[in-house]
C-alpha cells in the first residue's frame, strides 16, 4: 500500500475535482488538435501517473474505441478511480518499471507527471512499451494566471492559522515533488534526446471563470467547489488542532461566492491554466 502522494502532496478530491474541470468536454477541441490521434482507431492507450483518473475518464469519452489502461503508484488514487470511473483498466504500478511487455501500446500519455520522475526512466519506459510508430503525449503545467474575487481574499482566521504553523522543511521536496523541472525549451529537447522523433509542442489554455456566460451553472459551481476543496485540503493537511476556525472561515467565504453567483452579482474572478502538450513518435 502506497499512499504517499494522496496523504502528503495532493488529496484524492482536490486532484479529481480540479482535473475533471481541466479535462471537461468543452476543452476537448484544444487537446484533440495537439494530440493528433485518430478518434476512431482501435488503439491501446496507457496513462502514466493517472492520479484519481479524471483524464482517463475523459479519454474514454473522447476516444470511444480505445482500450485504456491507467497506472499510478498511489493506492488511494487507484481505489477511487476503480470505484468511480468505469470502462478503464486502473492498476497500481511504477512508471519507472512498467508492468507491461515491450511494444504493447499505441499511445502513452501523462499529465503533470514528468517533473516528478527521473527523465531517462520516464521516457525510456514509455518508449519500451510503445509500438513502433506509437505516440507519446506529455502534458505539463506552465505558468497561468489567477485573479481572486474580493469575497475570497484570505480571511483573518486563515491568516492566524497559517501564522500559527511552525515553519517546517519543505514537505514537497521530501516526497520527491518536482525534482526534475524542465523549461518549455528543455522538455522537447529531453524527449528527442530520449529517442522520440517528430516532436511537436502545443498548448491548451483552460479558462475557468465562473461568471463567464459560456459556462453553464453546473460548471460554474464546480469551479467554485474545486477552489473550496483545495483551500480546505491545504488547512486539513497540516494536522493542527486549531484548524476549526480557519475551516469555518473558508466555508463561509465560498458559500458567499456561491450566493453571489446564484444572485447574478458578478465577481469575474478567474483561473487560467496553461498546459503544454508534447507529442513525439517512437521510430
Which grid coordinates are listed for 201?
Answer: 509542442
Indicate the SS3 state at residue 136: strand
Query: What is the per-residue binding string for ligand SAM in 213-232, x denoting contact by CB under 6 A?
Result: --------------------
27 binds ligand SAM, rule: CB under 6 A: no
Of 38-46, 67-75, 167-175, 212-220, the window that binds ligand SAM (rule: CB under 6 A) is 67-75
Shortest-Cβ-distance residue relative to ligand SAM: 51
Instruction: State yes or no: residue 280 binds ligand SAM (CB under 6 A).
Output: no
Nearest residue (CB) to ligand SAM, 93 versus 247: 93
Pairing of strands 44-48, 105-111: parallel
Residue found by looking up cell 522520440 in the block: 196
Give the binding range for ligand SAM (CB under 6 A) out of 46-54, 124-132, 211-219, 275-283: 46-54
Q: 51 or 210, CB closer to ligand SAM?
A: 51
Burial-class residue 136 by CB neighbours within 10 Å (0-12, 13-18, 19+).
buried
109 touches ligand SAM (CB under 6 A): no
Among 14, 45, 58, 74, binds ligand SAM (CB under 6 A): 74
Q: Is 51 in the site for ligand SAM (CB under 6 A)?
A: yes
d(CA 36, CA 96): 26
Virtual torsion, Cα 113, 186, 119, 4, nearest 10 deg: -30
Cβ atoms within 10 Å, residue 55: 24
Say how many residues make up the chain: 283
- Of 111, 114, 209, 229, the one binding ligand SAM (CB under 6 A) is 111
**Taking a C-beta distance cutoff of 8 angstroms, is the pair 196, 28 a contact?**
no
The set of residues, in sequence order, having a beta carbon less than 8 Å from that of 258 and lying 6+ positions away, is 221, 224
Q: Which stretch binds ligand SAM (CB under 6 A): 44-52, 190-198, 249-257, 262-270?
A: 44-52
Task: Say what the alpha-carbon torsion angle 115, 108, 186, 204 is, to the nearest 10 degrees.
Answer: -90
- Please work out the total of residues on this chain that contact ligand SAM, with binding judged by CB under 6 A: 20
Residues lying near ligand SAM in the complex (CB under 6 A) are found at 5, 15, 19, 49-51, 54-55, 72-74, 77, 94-96, 111-113, 116-117
Amino acid at each position: 500500500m502506497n499512499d504517499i502522494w494522496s496523504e502528503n502532496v495532493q488529496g484524492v478530491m482536490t486532484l479529481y475535482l480540479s482535473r475533471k474541470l481541466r479535462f471537461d468536454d468543452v476543452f476537448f477541441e484544444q487537446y484533440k488538435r495537439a494530440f493528433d490521434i485518430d478518434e476512431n482507431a482501435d488503439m491501446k492507450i496507457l496513462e502514466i501517473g493517472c492520479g484519481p483518473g479524471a483524464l482517463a475518464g475523459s479519454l474514454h469519452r473522447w476516444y470511444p474505441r480505445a482500450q485504456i489502461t491507467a497506472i499510478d503508484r498511489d493506492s488511494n488514487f487507484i481505489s477511487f478511480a476503480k470505484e468511480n470511473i468505469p470502462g478503464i483498466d486502473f492498476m497500481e504500478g511504477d512508471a519507472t518499471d512498467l508492468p507491461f511487455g515491450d511494444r504493447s501500446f499505441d499511445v502513452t500519455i501523462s499529465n503533470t507527471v514528468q517533473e516528478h520522475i527521473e527523465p531517462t526512466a520516464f521516457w525510456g519506459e514509455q518508449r519500451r512499451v510503445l509500438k513502433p510508430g506509437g505516440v507519446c503525449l506529455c502534458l505539463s503545467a506552465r505558468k497561468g494566471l489567477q485573479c481572486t474575487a474580493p469575497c475570497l481574499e484570505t480571511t483573518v482566521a486563515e491568516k492566524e492559522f497559517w501564522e500559527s504553523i511552525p515553519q517546517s522543511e519543505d514537505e514537497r521536496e521530501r516526497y520527491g515533488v518536482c525534482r526534475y523541472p524542465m523549461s518549455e525549451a528543455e522538455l522537447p529537447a529531453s524527449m528527442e534526446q530520449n529517442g522520440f522523433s517528430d516532436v511537436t509542442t502545443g498548448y491548451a489554455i483552460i479558462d475557468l471563470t465562473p461568471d463567464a456566460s459560456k459556462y453553464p451553472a453546473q460548471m460554474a459551481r464546480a469551479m467554485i467547489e474545486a477552489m473550496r476543496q483545495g483551500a480546505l485540503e491545504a488547512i486539513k493537511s497540516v494536522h493542527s488542532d486549531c484548524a476549526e476556525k480557519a475551516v469555518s472561515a473558508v466555508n463561509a467565504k465560498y458559500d458567499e461566492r456561491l450566493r453571489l453567483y446564484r444572485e447574478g452579482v458578478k465577481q469575474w474572478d478567474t483561473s487560467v491554466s496553461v498546459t503544454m502538450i508534447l507529442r513525439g513518435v517512437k521510430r
